[in-house]
């Protein structure tokens, strides 16, 4: 088997198999993760990667203590142990969200093998550097036996080997990737967690928006959800569902997009000529697949497509980078036919919890994993894509005597 060990330097799979596992939220692990947070925050190289800063904040001690409380509350008096070895297959793009699931798995005591593809993003590279330097500290000697970051390009044989030795396999990737990896058998007692490509939307009550005094804050929040990763995060809204009557919606839309346009012009999010072309290709392709109306936009930071009363919505053609589909509905129920298993997050404004709850309970949509307020779309939680990771990463031992 030929793979590069990225961290820690000089370990291989065999030594991990004999490593001891910890109880959930072991002090050593918390210290390690907190040190990781501190090192990211104090390292200037990370500044240009907002997602890494967000990660560092999420794993700082106060939040980890908060996660611990959640874990302990759910656990109650039950006996929970780590599952053992968790094998993470990271997505091969700039995404770093897999780091959260890897660190959560560490927190509950597992040994972790993380496979990275051959094209490692600069931010992941920085992270590997920091992980290595921390693992070299004497006080983290034990942690060193808990982590293995490896790199290899498409090699089913290596994946097979790791798969047969792990207790949980976690796959991040597109449908094709996931199908390919799933064809590789796991150890019979192992479980698997799949994080596939997802599509997300924002839902705005037009009337509430028109009467909302803090529109700039909302725009800032929507901007963060959408433009921080140029809509490449699965939970970034790519579709905006306007709720209300047409008159309200039209006035709300006009104000909303005008404010966002000003915001974008002021903040200048990342922009590449190729993004503009990608969006034009997506737009024309969508026009072939279904009837659409392209809304004129002053710049290619934001491009919008109105779809009148769609029965289906082609979400595969969406390429991100500041492209928004828009639909108008009078009632939330109208979006039910569009929702597939691929739908992940609805970030909402002006729609309260009870209304959302009854909408979900009465309709049981095919997809939808989380509802958050606009501005929190990118915030990670231990419950992701329908999995409670604290639950998935542990096993329960019952004592009934």
Which residues sit at the interface with other proteins, rule CB under 8 A? 91-95, 97, 117, 119, 153-154, 172-177, 180, 195-198, 229-230, 232-235, 270-288, 291-294, 298-301, 305, 316-321
Q: Minimum Å distance from CB 235 to other proteins?
A: 7
Report the C-alpha gap between 169 and 88 in whole angstroms: 6
Which one, 19 or 124, has the nearer CB to other proteins? 124
The distance between the two most distant Cα atoms of the chain, rounded to a whole number of Å, is: 71
Contacts of 172 (CB under 8 A, 6+ apart): 88, 89, 90, 91, 95, 97, 98, 195
Q: Minimum Å distance from CB 273 to other proteins?
A: 4
Which one, 210 or 371, has the nearer CB to other proteins? 371
Which one, 163 or 177, has the nearer CB to other proteins? 177
Which one, 175 or 388, has the nearer CB to other proteins? 175
Measured between alpha carbons, how far apart are the two ends of the chain, in Å? 47
Q: Minimum Å distance from CB 366 to other proteins?
A: 20
Q: Is residue 86 within 8 Å of 166, Cβ to Cβ?
A: yes
Q: Minimum Å distance from CB 100 to other proteins?
A: 10
Q: Minimum Å distance from CB 353 to other proteins?
A: 26
Which one, 105 or 275, has the nearer CB to other proteins? 275
Which one, 298 or 353, has the nearer CB to other proteins? 298
Sign of torsion over alpha carbons 73, 76, 78, 81: positive
Which one, 136 or 291, has the nearer CB to other proteins? 291
Which one, 289 or 396, has the nearer CB to other proteins? 289
Q: Minimum Å distance from CB 272 to other proteins?
A: 4
What burial class does residue 196 get, using C-beta atoms within 10 Å of its C-beta: 0-12 exposed, 13-18 middle, 19+ buried?
A: middle
Which one, 24 or 173, has the nearer CB to other proteins? 173
Sign of torsion over alpha carbons 311, 315, 318, 323: positive
Q: Minimum Å distance from CB 346 to other proteins?
A: 16
Pairing label, strands 387-388, 303-306: unpaired
Pairing label, strands 383-384, 323-329: unpaired
Q: Minimum Å distance from CB 220 to other proteins?
A: 21
Which one, 7 or 321, has the nearer CB to other proteins? 321
Q: Minimum Å distance from CB 121 to other proteins?
A: 8
What burial class does residue 357 get, using C-beta atoms within 10 Å of its C-beta: 0-12 exposed, 13-18 middle, 19+ buried?
A: exposed
Q: Minimum Å distance from CB 206 to other proteins?
A: 24
Report the C-alpha gap between 303 and 283 in whole angstroms: 9
The CA R_g of the chain, rounded to the nearest whole Å, is 22
């Amino acid at each position: 088997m030929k793979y590069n060990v990225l961290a820690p330097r000089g370990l291989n799979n065999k030594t991990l198999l004999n490593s001891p596992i910890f109880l959930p939220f072991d002090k050593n692990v918390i210290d390690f993760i907190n040190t990781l947070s501190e090192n990211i925050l104090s390292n200037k190289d990370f500044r240009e990667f907002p997602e890494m800063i967000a990660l560092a904040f999420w794993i700082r001690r106060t939040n980890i203590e908060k996660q611990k409380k959640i874990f302990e509350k759910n656990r109650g008096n039950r006996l929970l142990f780590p599952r053992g070895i968790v094998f993470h297959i990271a997505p091969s793009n700039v995404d770093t969200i897999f780091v959260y699931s890897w660190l959560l798995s560490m927190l509950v005591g597992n040994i972790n093998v993380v496979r990275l593809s051959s094209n490692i993003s600069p931010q992941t590279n920085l992270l590997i550097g920091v992980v290595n330097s921390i693992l070299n500290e004497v006080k983290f000697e034990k942690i060193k036996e808990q982590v293995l970051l490896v790199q290899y390009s498409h090699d089913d044989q290596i994946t097979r080997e790791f798969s047969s030795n792990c207790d949980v396999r976690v796959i991040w990737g597109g449908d094709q990737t996931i199908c390919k990896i799933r064809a590789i058998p796991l150890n019979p007692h192992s479980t698997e967690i799949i994080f596939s490509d997802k599509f997300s939307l924002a839902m705005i009550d037009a009337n509430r928006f028109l009467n909302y005094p803090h529109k700039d804050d909302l725009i800032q929040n929507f901007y963060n959800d959408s433009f921080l990763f140029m809509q490449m995060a699965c939970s970034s809204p790519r579709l905006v569902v306007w709720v209300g009557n047409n008159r309200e919606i039209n006035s709300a839309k006009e104000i909303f997009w005008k404010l966002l346009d000003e915001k974008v012009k002021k903040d200048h999010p990342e922009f590449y000529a190729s993004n503009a072309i990608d969006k034009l290709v997506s737009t024309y392709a969508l026009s072939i697949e279904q009837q659409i109306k392209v809304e004129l936009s002053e710049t290619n930071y934001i491009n919008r497509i109105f779809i009148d009363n769609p029965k289906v919505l082609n979400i595969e053609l969406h390429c991100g980078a500041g492209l928004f589909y828009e639909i108008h509905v009078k009632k939330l129920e109208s979006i039910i036919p569009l929702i597939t298993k691929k739908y992940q997050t609805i970030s909402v404004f002006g729609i309260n919890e009870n209304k959302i709850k009854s909408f979900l309970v009465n309709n049981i949509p095919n997809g939808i994993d989380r509802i958050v307020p606009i501005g929190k779309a990118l915030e990670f939680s231990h419950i992701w894509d329908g999995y409670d990771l604290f639950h998935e990463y542990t096993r329960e031992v019952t004592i009934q005597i």
